[in-house]
Structure 1
Amino acid sequence: MGKKATTIKEQINKLQKRNMVMDLGIEKAKEILLDIGYYRLGFYWHPFEVDKDHNLKQGTKFSDVVKLYYLDVDLKHILLKALNRIEINFKTQLIYYVSNYYDKNPTWFADKKIVSYKYVNGFPSIYNEKFVQNNKPIKKHHSKHKNDIYAPAWKTLEYLTFGSVIKLFLSLHNKELKKTIANNYGIKSLSVFENYLSTILFVRNICAHSDLLFDSYTPLGIKSTPLINVEKNKKHSLSSSIKVICYFLEKISVNRCKETTSKIDSLFANFKNNDSIKDIIENKIGYNFDS
Protein backbone atom coordinates (compact mmCIF):
# COMPACT_ATOMS: atom_id res chain seq x y z
CA MET A 1 0.00 0.00 0.00
CA GLY A 2 1.31 3.46 -0.91
CA LYS A 3 1.51 6.49 1.32
CA LYS A 4 -1.73 7.98 2.60
CA ALA A 5 -3.11 11.28 1.33
CA THR A 6 -2.01 14.45 3.10
CA THR A 7 -3.85 17.64 3.99
CA ILE A 8 -2.80 21.06 2.65
CA LYS A 9 -1.49 21.97 6.10
CA GLU A 10 0.64 18.80 6.18
CA GLN A 11 1.91 19.51 2.67
CA ILE A 12 3.02 23.03 3.63
CA ASN A 13 4.69 21.78 6.82
CA LYS A 14 6.55 19.16 4.80
CA LEU A 15 7.76 21.75 2.29
CA GLN A 16 8.92 24.10 5.04
CA LYS A 17 10.86 21.28 6.70
CA ARG A 18 12.56 20.70 3.32
CA ASN A 19 13.72 24.36 3.21
CA MET A 20 10.93 25.85 1.08
CA VAL A 21 10.49 29.58 1.75
CA MET A 22 6.77 30.39 1.73
CA ASP A 23 7.34 33.91 0.43
CA LEU A 24 3.80 34.23 -0.96
CA GLY A 25 2.30 33.60 2.47
CA ILE A 26 0.59 30.53 3.85
CA GLU A 27 -2.90 31.42 2.62
CA LYS A 28 -1.71 31.97 -0.95
CA ALA A 29 0.27 28.73 -0.79
CA LYS A 30 -2.90 26.89 0.27
CA GLU A 31 -4.81 28.42 -2.64
CA ILE A 32 -2.12 27.40 -5.15
CA LEU A 33 -1.79 23.86 -3.80
CA LEU A 34 -5.55 23.40 -4.03
CA ASP A 35 -5.48 24.82 -7.58
CA ILE A 36 -2.48 23.07 -9.14
CA GLY A 37 -1.99 20.18 -6.73
CA TYR A 38 0.95 19.07 -4.59
CA TYR A 39 1.88 16.19 -6.88
CA ARG A 40 1.91 18.22 -10.12
CA LEU A 41 3.71 21.15 -8.53
CA GLY A 42 6.32 18.69 -7.25
CA PHE A 43 7.70 18.35 -10.78
CA TYR A 44 8.56 22.05 -10.63
CA TRP A 45 10.37 22.04 -7.30
CA HIS A 46 12.26 18.92 -8.31
CA PRO A 47 15.05 20.98 -10.01
CA PHE A 48 15.66 22.67 -6.64
CA GLU A 49 16.10 19.38 -4.74
CA VAL A 50 19.59 18.63 -3.41
CA ASP A 51 19.29 15.04 -2.12
CA LYS A 52 17.26 11.83 -2.34
CA ASP A 53 15.19 12.90 0.67
CA HIS A 54 13.75 15.74 -1.44
CA ASN A 55 15.38 18.47 0.63
CA LEU A 56 15.56 21.75 -1.25
CA LYS A 57 18.39 24.16 -1.83
CA GLN A 58 18.53 26.75 0.96
CA GLY A 59 16.47 29.80 0.06
CA THR A 60 14.23 28.05 -2.49
CA LYS A 61 11.19 30.27 -2.90
CA PHE A 62 7.69 28.92 -3.38
CA SER A 63 7.10 31.83 -5.79
CA ASP A 64 9.92 30.58 -8.04
CA VAL A 65 8.36 27.13 -8.19
CA VAL A 66 5.04 28.67 -9.22
CA LYS A 67 6.81 30.91 -11.79
CA LEU A 68 8.50 27.85 -13.29
CA TYR A 69 5.13 26.10 -13.50
CA TYR A 70 3.57 29.01 -15.39
CA LEU A 71 6.65 29.36 -17.60
CA ASP A 72 6.04 25.75 -18.64
CA VAL A 73 2.32 26.39 -19.21
CA ASP A 74 2.96 29.53 -21.28
CA LEU A 75 5.66 27.83 -23.36
CA LYS A 76 3.30 24.94 -24.13
CA HIS A 77 0.61 27.38 -25.29
CA ILE A 78 3.06 29.17 -27.61
CA LEU A 79 4.38 25.95 -29.09
CA LEU A 80 0.97 24.30 -29.41
CA LYS A 81 -0.24 27.07 -31.71
CA ALA A 82 2.82 26.56 -33.92
CA LEU A 83 2.50 22.77 -33.79
CA ASN A 84 -1.16 22.90 -34.84
CA ARG A 85 -0.14 24.93 -37.89
CA ILE A 86 2.54 22.34 -38.77
CA GLU A 87 0.12 19.44 -38.24
CA ILE A 88 -2.50 20.87 -40.59
CA ASN A 89 0.11 21.73 -43.23
CA PHE A 90 1.66 18.25 -43.10
CA LYS A 91 -1.74 16.57 -43.38
CA THR A 92 -2.53 18.75 -46.40
CA GLN A 93 0.77 17.85 -48.10
CA LEU A 94 0.24 14.14 -47.52
CA ILE A 95 -3.39 14.18 -48.68
CA TYR A 96 -2.66 16.26 -51.77
CA TYR A 97 0.41 14.51 -53.15
CA VAL A 98 -0.50 10.90 -52.38
CA SER A 99 -4.19 11.25 -53.36
CA ASN A 100 -3.27 12.82 -56.70
CA TYR A 101 -0.61 10.19 -57.40
CA TYR A 102 -3.10 7.38 -56.67
CA ASP A 103 -6.05 9.27 -58.14
CA LYS A 104 -7.97 6.08 -58.93
CA ASN A 105 -7.86 4.99 -55.29
CA PRO A 106 -9.43 7.51 -52.87
CA THR A 107 -8.85 5.16 -49.92
CA TRP A 108 -5.18 4.50 -50.72
CA PHE A 109 -4.36 4.56 -46.99
CA ALA A 110 -6.00 1.12 -46.68
CA ASP A 111 -4.31 -0.45 -49.71
CA LYS A 112 -1.51 -2.89 -48.90
CA LYS A 113 0.10 -2.22 -52.26
CA ILE A 114 0.58 1.41 -51.19
CA VAL A 115 0.92 1.24 -47.42
CA SER A 116 2.56 -1.36 -45.15
CA TYR A 117 0.60 -4.43 -44.08
CA LYS A 118 1.01 -3.48 -40.44
CA TYR A 119 -0.61 -0.07 -40.87
CA VAL A 120 -3.47 -1.34 -43.03
CA ASN A 121 -4.20 -4.27 -40.70
CA GLY A 122 -4.32 -1.95 -37.69
CA PHE A 123 -6.44 0.72 -39.35
CA PRO A 124 -9.88 -0.74 -38.41
CA SER A 125 -8.99 -0.13 -34.74
CA ILE A 126 -8.62 3.58 -35.58
CA TYR A 127 -11.52 3.85 -38.04
CA ASN A 128 -14.13 2.28 -35.81
CA GLU A 129 -17.76 3.06 -35.01
CA LYS A 130 -16.76 5.66 -32.42
CA PHE A 131 -14.54 7.41 -34.99
CA VAL A 132 -17.42 7.54 -37.48
CA GLN A 133 -19.96 8.80 -34.94
CA ASN A 134 -17.63 11.43 -33.46
CA ASN A 135 -16.76 13.07 -36.79
CA LYS A 136 -19.81 14.50 -38.55
CA PRO A 137 -18.39 14.66 -42.11
CA ILE A 138 -17.35 10.99 -41.85
CA LYS A 139 -20.74 10.04 -40.47
CA LYS A 140 -22.45 12.02 -43.24
CA HIS A 141 -20.30 10.30 -45.87
CA HIS A 142 -21.36 6.83 -44.70
CA SER A 143 -25.03 7.80 -44.55
CA LYS A 144 -24.78 8.72 -48.26
CA HIS A 145 -22.40 5.95 -49.33
CA LYS A 146 -23.47 2.96 -47.30
CA ASN A 147 -21.25 0.46 -49.14
CA ASP A 148 -18.01 2.38 -48.53
CA ILE A 149 -15.73 0.84 -45.94
CA TYR A 150 -13.88 4.14 -45.53
CA ALA A 151 -14.37 7.76 -46.54
CA PRO A 152 -11.80 9.19 -49.02
CA ALA A 153 -8.38 10.24 -47.80
CA TRP A 154 -9.15 13.98 -47.95
CA LYS A 155 -11.94 13.41 -45.43
CA THR A 156 -10.47 10.63 -43.30
CA LEU A 157 -6.98 12.01 -42.71
CA GLU A 158 -8.34 15.32 -41.46
CA TYR A 159 -9.68 13.49 -38.40
CA LEU A 160 -6.73 11.23 -37.67
CA THR A 161 -4.34 12.14 -34.88
CA PHE A 162 -1.00 13.67 -35.85
CA GLY A 163 0.67 10.46 -34.66
CA SER A 164 -1.48 8.31 -36.93
CA VAL A 165 -0.80 10.56 -39.92
CA ILE A 166 2.96 10.47 -39.34
CA LYS A 167 2.80 6.66 -39.03
CA LEU A 168 0.91 6.58 -42.31
CA PHE A 169 3.62 8.65 -43.97
CA LEU A 170 6.33 6.35 -42.59
CA SER A 171 4.34 3.33 -43.83
CA LEU A 172 4.18 4.47 -47.47
CA HIS A 173 6.03 2.15 -49.87
CA ASN A 174 6.68 4.89 -52.42
CA LYS A 175 9.91 6.60 -51.35
CA GLU A 176 9.79 9.11 -54.19
CA LEU A 177 6.44 10.41 -52.95
CA LYS A 178 7.86 10.70 -49.44
CA LYS A 179 10.85 12.60 -50.83
CA THR A 180 8.52 14.96 -52.70
CA ILE A 181 6.79 15.86 -49.44
CA ALA A 182 10.10 16.21 -47.59
CA ASN A 183 11.44 18.47 -50.35
CA ASN A 184 8.53 20.84 -49.80
CA TYR A 185 10.10 21.54 -46.41
CA GLY A 186 13.55 21.94 -47.97
CA ILE A 187 14.76 18.57 -46.68
CA LYS A 188 16.39 16.10 -49.11
CA SER A 189 17.23 13.30 -46.68
CA LEU A 190 14.29 11.10 -45.70
CA SER A 191 16.03 9.94 -42.53
CA VAL A 192 16.49 13.56 -41.43
CA PHE A 193 12.88 14.40 -42.32
CA GLU A 194 11.57 11.44 -40.34
CA ASN A 195 13.81 12.34 -37.40
CA TYR A 196 12.38 15.86 -37.39
CA LEU A 197 8.80 14.56 -37.63
CA SER A 198 9.41 12.33 -34.59
CA THR A 199 10.77 15.33 -32.69
CA ILE A 200 7.76 17.47 -33.58
CA LEU A 201 5.34 14.71 -32.57
CA PHE A 202 7.13 14.17 -29.25
CA VAL A 203 6.83 17.86 -28.28
CA ARG A 204 3.28 18.08 -29.64
CA ASN A 205 2.12 15.20 -27.43
CA ILE A 206 3.64 16.81 -24.33
CA CYS A 207 1.95 20.14 -25.08
CA ALA A 208 -1.41 18.58 -25.94
CA HIS A 209 -1.53 16.39 -22.83
CA SER A 210 -0.25 18.98 -20.32
CA ASP A 211 2.84 16.93 -19.51
CA LEU A 212 6.15 18.31 -18.23
CA LEU A 213 7.85 20.30 -21.00
CA PHE A 214 10.79 22.24 -19.57
CA ASP A 215 12.54 19.09 -18.35
CA SER A 216 11.80 16.97 -21.44
CA TYR A 217 14.41 15.21 -23.55
CA THR A 218 13.63 13.78 -26.97
CA PRO A 219 14.15 9.98 -27.03
CA LEU A 220 15.77 10.23 -30.47
CA GLY A 221 18.75 12.52 -30.77
CA ILE A 222 17.98 15.38 -33.15
CA LYS A 223 20.18 15.21 -36.23
CA SER A 224 22.40 18.20 -36.89
CA THR A 225 22.37 19.36 -40.52
CA PRO A 226 23.27 22.52 -42.45
CA LEU A 227 19.56 23.36 -42.12
CA ILE A 228 19.45 23.13 -38.32
CA ASN A 229 22.65 23.31 -36.33
CA VAL A 230 22.33 21.19 -33.18
CA GLU A 231 25.16 21.29 -30.65
CA LYS A 232 26.49 17.86 -29.63
CA ASN A 233 25.45 18.25 -26.00
CA LYS A 234 21.96 19.48 -26.99
CA LYS A 235 20.76 16.70 -29.32
CA HIS A 236 18.01 15.73 -26.87
CA SER A 237 17.25 19.20 -25.49
CA LEU A 238 14.04 21.17 -25.73
CA SER A 239 15.89 24.13 -27.25
CA SER A 240 16.90 21.94 -30.21
CA SER A 241 13.33 20.65 -30.55
CA ILE A 242 12.17 24.26 -30.71
CA LYS A 243 14.68 24.86 -33.51
CA VAL A 244 13.07 22.03 -35.49
CA ILE A 245 9.57 23.40 -34.86
CA CYS A 246 10.61 26.90 -35.93
CA TYR A 247 12.33 25.54 -39.05
CA PHE A 248 9.13 23.81 -40.21
CA LEU A 249 7.02 26.81 -39.27
CA GLU A 250 9.26 29.13 -41.30
CA LYS A 251 8.72 26.93 -44.37
CA ILE A 252 4.97 27.36 -43.89
CA SER A 253 4.85 31.00 -42.83
CA VAL A 254 7.82 33.31 -42.22
CA ASN A 255 5.60 35.68 -40.22
CA ARG A 256 4.32 32.93 -37.93
CA CYS A 257 7.90 31.77 -37.36
CA LYS A 258 9.00 35.29 -36.39
CA GLU A 259 5.98 35.68 -34.14
CA THR A 260 6.64 32.36 -32.36
CA THR A 261 10.35 33.03 -31.91
CA SER A 262 9.63 36.51 -30.57
CA LYS A 263 7.10 35.17 -28.06
CA ILE A 264 9.54 32.53 -26.80
CA ASP A 265 12.36 35.07 -26.47
CA SER A 266 10.05 37.47 -24.61
CA LEU A 267 8.87 34.72 -22.28
CA PHE A 268 12.41 33.71 -21.34
CA ALA A 269 13.52 37.37 -21.06
CA ASN A 270 11.12 37.74 -18.11
CA PHE A 271 13.50 35.55 -16.09
CA LYS A 272 16.82 37.04 -17.13
CA ASN A 273 17.29 38.56 -13.67
CA ASN A 274 15.96 35.55 -11.76
CA ASP A 275 19.09 33.42 -11.23
CA SER A 276 17.19 30.30 -10.11
CA ILE A 277 14.92 30.09 -13.14
CA LYS A 278 17.50 31.48 -15.57
CA ASP A 279 19.75 28.57 -14.63
CA ILE A 280 16.94 26.09 -15.41
CA ILE A 281 16.21 27.78 -18.76
CA GLU A 282 19.88 27.59 -19.73
CA ASN A 283 20.77 24.15 -18.37
CA LYS A 284 17.48 22.21 -18.59
CA ILE A 285 15.89 23.76 -21.69
CA GLY A 286 19.24 24.59 -23.32
CA TYR A 287 18.31 28.15 -24.28
CA ASN A 288 21.19 30.59 -24.68
CA PHE A 289 20.41 34.09 -23.43
CA ASP A 290 23.46 35.51 -25.20
CA SER A 291 22.48 34.37 -28.70
Structure 2
Amino acid sequence: MGKKAIPVDEQIKKLRSRGMVMDWGEEKAKEVLLDIGYYRLGFYWHPFQIDSEHNLVEGTLFSNVVKLYYLDTDLKHILTKAINRIEINFKTQLIYYTSVKYDQNPTWFVDKKIVAKTFVDNFPKFYTKKFKSDNKPIKRHHAKYPNEIYAPAWKTLEFLTLGSVITLYISLQNKSLKETIASQYGIKSIGVLENFLLTILFIRNICAHSDLLFDANTPKEIKTTPLIKFNNNNRHSLDSSIKVILYLLNQISENRSNIIQTEIENLFEVFSDDGVIKNIITNKMGYIYPSA
Protein backbone atom coordinates (compact mmCIF):
# COMPACT_ATOMS: atom_id res chain seq x y z
CA MET A 1 0.00 0.00 0.00
CA GLY A 2 1.33 3.44 -0.94
CA LYS A 3 1.71 6.49 1.24
CA LYS A 4 -1.47 7.90 2.75
CA ALA A 5 -2.78 11.42 2.13
CA ILE A 6 -2.01 14.02 4.82
CA PRO A 7 -3.90 17.19 5.84
CA VAL A 8 -2.63 20.56 4.59
CA ASP A 9 -1.28 21.49 8.04
CA GLU A 10 0.93 18.40 7.98
CA GLN A 11 1.96 19.18 4.40
CA ILE A 12 3.27 22.55 5.55
CA LYS A 13 4.99 20.96 8.54
CA LYS A 14 6.69 18.43 6.25
CA LEU A 15 7.86 21.16 3.86
CA ARG A 16 9.29 23.14 6.76
CA SER A 17 11.14 20.08 8.02
CA ARG A 18 12.76 19.75 4.59
CA GLY A 19 13.96 23.33 4.60
CA MET A 20 11.14 25.29 2.97
CA VAL A 21 10.72 28.87 4.20
CA MET A 22 7.05 29.87 4.31
CA ASP A 23 7.77 33.50 3.46
CA TRP A 24 4.17 34.27 2.49
CA GLY A 25 2.86 33.00 5.82
CA GLU A 26 1.06 29.79 6.71
CA GLU A 27 -2.44 30.90 5.69
CA LYS A 28 -1.30 31.86 2.19
CA ALA A 29 0.60 28.58 1.94
CA LYS A 30 -2.59 26.68 2.82
CA GLU A 31 -4.50 28.63 0.19
CA VAL A 32 -1.92 27.78 -2.50
CA LEU A 33 -1.66 24.11 -1.55
CA LEU A 34 -5.44 23.72 -1.62
CA ASP A 35 -5.56 25.51 -4.97
CA ILE A 36 -2.68 23.93 -6.90
CA GLY A 37 -2.17 20.79 -4.85
CA TYR A 38 0.82 19.44 -2.93
CA TYR A 39 1.65 16.81 -5.56
CA ARG A 40 1.56 19.15 -8.56
CA LEU A 41 3.45 21.90 -6.76
CA GLY A 42 6.07 19.30 -5.85
CA PHE A 43 7.27 19.28 -9.46
CA TYR A 44 8.26 22.90 -8.98
CA TRP A 45 10.24 22.52 -5.77
CA HIS A 46 12.08 19.60 -7.31
CA PRO A 47 14.80 21.93 -8.77
CA PHE A 48 15.59 23.01 -5.22
CA GLN A 49 16.03 19.48 -3.83
CA ILE A 50 19.49 18.44 -2.71
CA ASP A 51 19.05 14.75 -1.92
CA SER A 52 16.84 11.69 -2.36
CA GLU A 53 15.08 12.48 0.92
CA HIS A 54 13.56 15.58 -0.73
CA ASN A 55 15.47 18.00 1.47
CA LEU A 56 15.77 21.45 -0.05
CA VAL A 57 18.51 24.01 -0.55
CA GLU A 58 18.76 26.05 2.63
CA GLY A 59 16.56 29.12 2.44
CA THR A 60 14.30 27.84 -0.36
CA LEU A 61 11.33 30.19 -0.43
CA PHE A 62 7.80 28.92 -0.89
CA SER A 63 7.13 32.04 -2.97
CA ASN A 64 9.84 31.04 -5.47
CA VAL A 65 8.26 27.63 -5.96
CA VAL A 66 4.89 29.25 -6.67
CA LYS A 67 6.49 31.82 -8.99
CA LEU A 68 8.09 29.00 -10.97
CA TYR A 69 4.73 27.26 -11.23
CA TYR A 70 3.03 30.36 -12.64
CA LEU A 71 5.94 31.10 -14.96
CA ASP A 72 5.56 27.59 -16.36
CA THR A 73 1.78 27.89 -16.62
CA ASP A 74 1.81 31.32 -18.28
CA LEU A 75 4.46 30.23 -20.78
CA LYS A 76 2.36 27.19 -21.70
CA HIS A 77 -0.60 29.45 -22.44
CA ILE A 78 1.48 31.71 -24.66
CA LEU A 79 3.06 28.86 -26.61
CA THR A 80 -0.27 27.07 -26.99
CA LYS A 81 -1.67 30.11 -28.83
CA ALA A 82 1.30 30.07 -31.20
CA ILE A 83 1.21 26.32 -31.79
CA ASN A 84 -2.53 26.35 -32.49
CA ARG A 85 -1.99 28.94 -35.22
CA ILE A 86 0.82 26.85 -36.74
CA GLU A 87 -1.27 23.66 -36.56
CA ILE A 88 -4.20 25.19 -38.46
CA ASN A 89 -1.90 26.68 -41.10
CA PHE A 90 0.04 23.45 -41.58
CA LYS A 91 -3.16 21.44 -41.99
CA THR A 92 -4.32 23.96 -44.58
CA GLN A 93 -1.09 23.71 -46.59
CA LEU A 94 -1.10 19.91 -46.48
CA ILE A 95 -4.76 19.65 -47.45
CA TYR A 96 -4.57 22.26 -50.20
CA TYR A 97 -1.41 21.24 -52.04
CA THR A 98 -2.02 17.51 -51.81
CA SER A 99 -5.71 17.69 -52.66
CA VAL A 100 -5.04 19.91 -55.69
CA LYS A 101 -2.31 17.58 -56.93
CA TYR A 102 -4.53 14.53 -56.55
CA ASP A 103 -7.77 16.28 -57.44
CA GLN A 104 -9.35 13.06 -58.71
CA ASN A 105 -8.87 11.39 -55.33
CA PRO A 106 -10.49 13.29 -52.41
CA THR A 107 -9.47 10.54 -49.98
CA TRP A 108 -5.82 10.46 -51.06
CA PHE A 109 -4.75 10.01 -47.43
CA VAL A 110 -5.68 6.31 -47.65
CA ASP A 111 -4.17 5.67 -51.08
CA LYS A 112 -1.02 3.54 -50.85
CA LYS A 113 0.23 5.03 -54.12
CA ILE A 114 0.32 8.43 -52.41
CA VAL A 115 0.89 7.67 -48.72
CA ALA A 116 3.12 5.08 -47.05
CA LYS A 117 1.47 1.72 -46.41
CA THR A 118 1.96 1.95 -42.63
CA PHE A 119 -0.10 5.13 -42.35
CA VAL A 120 -2.86 3.79 -44.59
CA ASP A 121 -3.06 0.47 -42.73
CA ASN A 122 -3.28 2.25 -39.38
CA PHE A 123 -5.80 4.89 -40.43
CA PRO A 124 -8.95 2.88 -39.55
CA LYS A 125 -7.78 3.06 -35.92
CA PHE A 126 -8.33 6.84 -36.08
CA TYR A 127 -11.46 6.82 -38.24
CA THR A 128 -13.72 5.05 -35.79
CA LYS A 129 -17.46 5.22 -35.19
CA LYS A 130 -16.71 7.59 -32.31
CA PHE A 131 -14.58 9.81 -34.57
CA LYS A 132 -17.44 10.04 -37.07
CA SER A 133 -20.00 10.65 -34.35
CA ASP A 134 -17.99 13.25 -32.40
CA ASN A 135 -17.17 15.49 -35.39
CA LYS A 136 -20.35 16.98 -36.81
CA PRO A 137 -19.13 17.71 -40.39
CA ILE A 138 -17.92 14.09 -40.67
CA LYS A 139 -21.18 12.81 -39.24
CA ARG A 140 -23.21 14.93 -41.69
CA HIS A 141 -21.06 13.75 -44.60
CA HIS A 142 -21.73 10.09 -43.90
CA ALA A 143 -25.43 10.76 -43.38
CA LYS A 144 -25.53 12.31 -46.87
CA TYR A 145 -23.15 9.80 -48.49
CA PRO A 146 -23.68 6.54 -46.53
CA ASN A 147 -21.73 4.43 -49.03
CA GLU A 148 -18.49 6.39 -48.71
CA ILE A 149 -15.90 4.92 -46.35
CA TYR A 150 -14.18 8.23 -45.65
CA ALA A 151 -15.00 11.91 -45.92
CA PRO A 152 -12.74 13.99 -48.20
CA ALA A 153 -9.36 15.19 -46.98
CA TRP A 154 -10.52 18.78 -46.44
CA LYS A 155 -13.07 17.51 -43.95
CA THR A 156 -11.24 14.58 -42.37
CA LEU A 157 -7.82 16.13 -41.76
CA GLU A 158 -9.29 19.09 -39.91
CA PHE A 159 -10.17 16.71 -37.08
CA LEU A 160 -6.96 14.73 -36.90
CA THR A 161 -4.47 15.47 -34.13
CA LEU A 162 -1.35 17.46 -34.88
CA GLY A 163 0.71 14.31 -34.39
CA SER A 164 -1.36 12.39 -36.94
CA VAL A 165 -1.14 15.19 -39.51
CA ILE A 166 2.64 15.42 -39.09
CA THR A 167 2.88 11.65 -39.55
CA LEU A 168 0.78 11.96 -42.70
CA TYR A 169 3.15 14.60 -44.11
CA ILE A 170 6.16 12.40 -43.30
CA SER A 171 4.34 9.49 -44.99
CA LEU A 172 3.77 11.29 -48.30
CA GLN A 173 5.68 9.51 -51.04
CA ASN A 174 5.99 12.42 -53.47
CA LYS A 175 9.20 14.28 -52.61
CA SER A 176 8.39 17.22 -54.86
CA LEU A 177 5.04 17.70 -53.13
CA LYS A 178 6.67 17.64 -49.70
CA GLU A 179 9.21 20.22 -50.89
CA THR A 180 6.39 22.44 -52.12
CA ILE A 181 4.75 22.35 -48.70
CA ALA A 182 8.09 22.96 -46.94
CA SER A 183 8.73 25.95 -49.20
CA GLN A 184 5.62 27.65 -47.81
CA TYR A 185 7.68 28.09 -44.63
CA GLY A 186 10.86 29.24 -46.38
CA ILE A 187 12.41 25.80 -45.88
CA LYS A 188 14.20 23.91 -48.66
CA SER A 189 14.91 20.69 -46.77
CA ILE A 190 12.07 18.26 -46.08
CA GLY A 191 14.08 16.88 -43.18
CA VAL A 192 14.30 20.31 -41.54
CA LEU A 193 10.55 20.87 -41.74
CA GLU A 194 9.86 17.41 -40.34
CA ASN A 195 12.32 18.06 -37.52
CA PHE A 196 10.74 21.44 -36.75
CA LEU A 197 7.24 19.95 -36.74
CA LEU A 198 8.26 17.16 -34.36
CA THR A 199 9.89 19.74 -32.10
CA ILE A 200 6.66 21.70 -32.00
CA LEU A 201 4.68 18.52 -31.35
CA PHE A 202 6.93 17.75 -28.37
CA ILE A 203 6.22 21.17 -26.86
CA ARG A 204 2.53 21.00 -27.75
CA ASN A 205 2.13 17.70 -25.89
CA ILE A 206 3.76 19.15 -22.78
CA CYS A 207 1.44 22.14 -22.86
CA ALA A 208 -1.65 20.01 -23.50
CA HIS A 209 -0.97 17.41 -20.82
CA SER A 210 0.17 19.72 -17.99
CA ASP A 211 3.72 18.33 -17.97
CA LEU A 212 6.72 20.40 -16.90
CA LEU A 213 7.79 22.92 -19.51
CA PHE A 214 10.56 24.92 -17.86
CA ASP A 215 13.11 22.09 -17.94
CA ALA A 216 11.94 20.46 -21.18
CA ASN A 217 14.72 19.35 -23.51
CA THR A 218 13.85 17.87 -26.89
CA PRO A 219 14.72 14.16 -27.13
CA LYS A 220 15.91 14.73 -30.70
CA GLU A 221 18.37 17.45 -31.59
CA ILE A 222 16.90 20.35 -33.53
CA LYS A 223 18.52 20.38 -36.96
CA THR A 224 21.23 22.91 -37.71
CA THR A 225 19.99 25.50 -40.16
CA PRO A 226 20.98 29.06 -41.12
CA LEU A 227 17.32 30.00 -40.58
CA ILE A 228 17.71 30.07 -36.78
CA LYS A 229 20.57 30.95 -34.46
CA PHE A 230 20.45 28.87 -31.28
CA ASN A 231 21.90 30.20 -28.03
CA ASN A 232 25.23 28.48 -27.29
CA ASN A 233 24.35 26.11 -30.16
CA ASN A 234 22.15 24.20 -27.73
CA ARG A 235 19.69 22.42 -30.01
CA HIS A 236 17.78 20.64 -27.24
CA SER A 237 16.81 23.54 -24.94
CA LEU A 238 13.35 25.00 -24.45
CA ASP A 239 14.60 28.33 -25.78
CA SER A 240 15.65 26.62 -29.01
CA SER A 241 12.20 25.04 -29.32
CA ILE A 242 10.65 28.46 -28.79
CA LYS A 243 12.84 29.82 -31.59
CA VAL A 244 11.49 27.10 -33.90
CA ILE A 245 7.92 28.00 -32.96
CA LEU A 246 8.56 31.71 -33.57
CA TYR A 247 10.27 31.01 -36.89
CA LEU A 248 7.35 28.99 -38.30
CA LEU A 249 4.82 31.44 -36.89
CA ASN A 250 6.71 34.30 -38.54
CA GLN A 251 6.33 32.58 -41.92
CA ILE A 252 2.57 32.57 -41.35
CA SER A 253 2.14 36.00 -39.77
CA GLU A 254 5.01 38.32 -38.88
CA ASN A 255 2.64 40.38 -36.74
CA ARG A 256 1.45 37.38 -34.73
CA SER A 257 5.03 36.16 -34.28
CA ASN A 258 6.08 39.58 -32.96
CA ILE A 259 3.16 39.61 -30.52
CA ILE A 260 4.00 36.14 -29.16
CA GLN A 261 7.70 36.97 -28.90
CA THR A 262 6.89 40.16 -26.98
CA GLU A 263 4.61 38.24 -24.61
CA ILE A 264 7.41 35.75 -23.88
CA GLU A 265 10.01 38.48 -23.38
CA ASN A 266 7.66 40.42 -21.10
CA LEU A 267 7.01 37.28 -19.05
CA PHE A 268 10.73 36.63 -18.62
CA GLU A 269 11.37 40.31 -17.86
CA VAL A 270 9.14 40.02 -14.77
CA PHE A 271 11.88 37.83 -13.26
CA SER A 272 14.92 39.78 -14.49
CA ASP A 273 15.65 41.01 -10.95
CA ASP A 274 14.76 37.72 -9.28
CA GLY A 275 18.03 35.83 -9.02
CA VAL A 276 16.53 32.40 -8.33
CA ILE A 277 13.92 32.34 -11.10
CA LYS A 278 16.18 34.18 -13.55
CA ASN A 279 18.80 31.49 -13.01
CA ILE A 280 16.26 28.82 -13.97
CA ILE A 281 15.20 30.78 -17.07
CA THR A 282 18.80 31.13 -18.25
CA ASN A 283 20.30 27.80 -17.15
CA LYS A 284 17.36 25.40 -17.60
CA MET A 285 15.46 27.10 -20.42
CA GLY A 286 18.53 28.42 -22.23
CA TYR A 287 17.17 31.96 -22.63
CA ILE A 288 19.65 34.83 -22.78
CA TYR A 289 18.41 38.14 -21.45
CA PRO A 290 19.10 41.10 -23.76
CA SER A 291 21.93 43.36 -22.62
CA ALA A 292 20.84 46.40 -20.65
Short-chain TM bin: over 0.9
State the match for 1:114 in structure 2.
Answer: 114
State the match for 2:54 in structure 1.
Answer: 54
Give runs of aligned pairs for residues 13-162 of structure 1, distance below 5 A. Answer: 13-162=13-162
- AA paired with 1:8? V
- AA paired with 1:136? K
Deviation at 1:30, TM superposition (A): 1.1
- Stretch deviating more after TM superposition (46-55 or 159-168): 46-55
State the match for 1:184 in structure 2.
Answer: 184
- Looking at structure 2, the residues matched to 212 and 288 of structure 1 have their Cα atoms a distance apart, in angstroms, of 20
Deviations 1:31-64 (A, max 9, x none): 1111111111011111111222211111111111
SS at match of 1:212: coil
Deviation at 1:235, TM superposition (A): 1.2
- Looking at structure 1, the residues matched to 56 and 257 of structure 2 have their Cα atoms a distance apart, in angstroms, of 38
CA contact (8 A) 1:23 1:63 kept: yes
CA contact (8 A) 1:237 1:284 kept: yes
- Looking at structure 2, the residues matched to 8 and 212 of structure 1 have their Cα atoms a distance apart, in angstroms, of 23
Percent of aligned pairs with the same residue? 66
State the match for 1:255 in structure 2.
Answer: 255
Deviation at 1:234, TM superposition (A): 1.7
- Looking at structure 1, the residues matched to 146 and 75 of structure 2 have their Cα atoms a distance apart, in angstroms, of 45
CA contact (8 A) 1:222 1:230 kept: no
- AA paired with 1:257? S
Deviations 1:1-40 (A, max 9, x none): 3222222122111110111011111111111111111111
Deviation at 1:208, TM superposition (A): 1.6
- AA paired with 2:259? E
RMSD of equivalent CA atoms = 1.0
1:277 aligns with 2:277: yes
- AA paired with 2:57? K
- AA paired with 1:187? I
- Looking at structure 2, the residues matched to 13 and 236 of structure 1 have their Cα atoms a distance apart, in angstroms, of 38
Instruction: State the aligned residue count.
Output: 291
- AA paired with 2:203? V
- AA paired with 2:135? N
- Looking at structure 1, the residues matched to 19 and 202 of structure 2 have their Cα atoms a distance apart, in angstroms, of 35
Unaligned 5+ runs, structure 2: none
- AA paired with 1:181? I
CA contact (8 A) 1:163 1:201 kept: yes
SS at match of 1:285: coil
Deviation at 1:203, TM superposition (A): 0.5
- AA paired with 2:254? V
Deviation at 1:123, TM superposition (A): 0.6
Deviations 1:162-193 (A, max 9, x none): 01100000111111101110011011111111
TM-score (norm 1): 0.98
SS at match of 2:20: coil
TM-score (norm 2): 0.97
Deviations 1:105-164 (A, max 9, x none): 000001111111111111111010000010000000000000000000000000101011
Deviation at 1:205, TM superposition (A): 1.0
